[in-house]
């Protein structure tokens, strides 16, 4: 998987892994990697600015948490975040259909009349 393959789909990934409950940054990276079968390895320089942006536009809310003595910033979906996640899912579906139908046409090339 090439490095910046997630370009344009990052927001959806972040919202999706937060759907089942709040997570902090490091756990988000692990969740994405886990759910993608190890194929998607996000970096901190990728997700932290993205999480800040998503919070700023109201799709996430965050709160500091203490695990033992260690501080963690936990992010969770807002209502707007859930609605946007639904939008991202339809956009993804539309996107894959569009690219897919060009890449693998239903009518195989060479069989046209």
Q: Rule CB under 8 A: which residues touch a second copy?
A: 1-2, 4-9, 12-13, 16-17, 19-21, 32, 35-37, 39-40, 88-89, 91-92, 94-105, 109-110, 112
DSSP 6: T
Site string for DNA, 37-56 (x = CB under 7 A): -----xxxxx-xxx-x----
- Can you read off the two tokens belonging to residue 56? 């700023």
Judged by beta carbon, residue 31 or residue 106, the one nearer DNA is: 31
Three-class secondary structure of residue 88 per DSSP: helix
Assigned token pair, 85: 């996640």
Q: Which is nearer to DNA, 26 or 108 (CB)?
A: 26
Structure tokens at 46: 């990728």
102 binds DNA, rule: CB under 7 A: no
**Which of a second copy, DNA, none lies near 77, with the C-beta cut-off 5 to 8 A by kind?**
none
Say which entry of DNA, a second copy, none residue 3 contacts (CB below 5 to 8 A, set by partner kind).
DNA
Q: Which does 82 bind (CB under 5 to 8 A by kind): a second copy, DNA, none?
A: none
User: How much is the CA Rg of the chain, to the nearest whole Å?
Assistant: 17
Token pair, residue 15, equals 């919202």
8 A C-beta contact, residue 59 and residue 78 = yes
Neighbours of 41 (CB within 10 A): 13
């Amino acid at each position: 998987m090439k490095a910046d393959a997630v370009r344009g789909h990052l927001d959806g990934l972040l919202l999706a892994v937060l759907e089942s409950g709040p997570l902090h940054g490091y756990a988000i990276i692990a969740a994405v990697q886990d759910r993608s079968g190890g194929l998607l390895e996000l970096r901190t320089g990728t997700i932290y600015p993205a999480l800040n942006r998503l919070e700023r536009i109201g799709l996430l809310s965050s709160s500091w948490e203490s695990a033992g003595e260690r501080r963690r910033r936990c992010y969770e979906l807002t209502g707007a975040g859930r609605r946007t996640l639904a939008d991202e899912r339809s956009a993804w579906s539309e996107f894959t259909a569009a690219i897919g139908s060009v890449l693998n046409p239903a009518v195989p090339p060479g069989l046209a009349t």
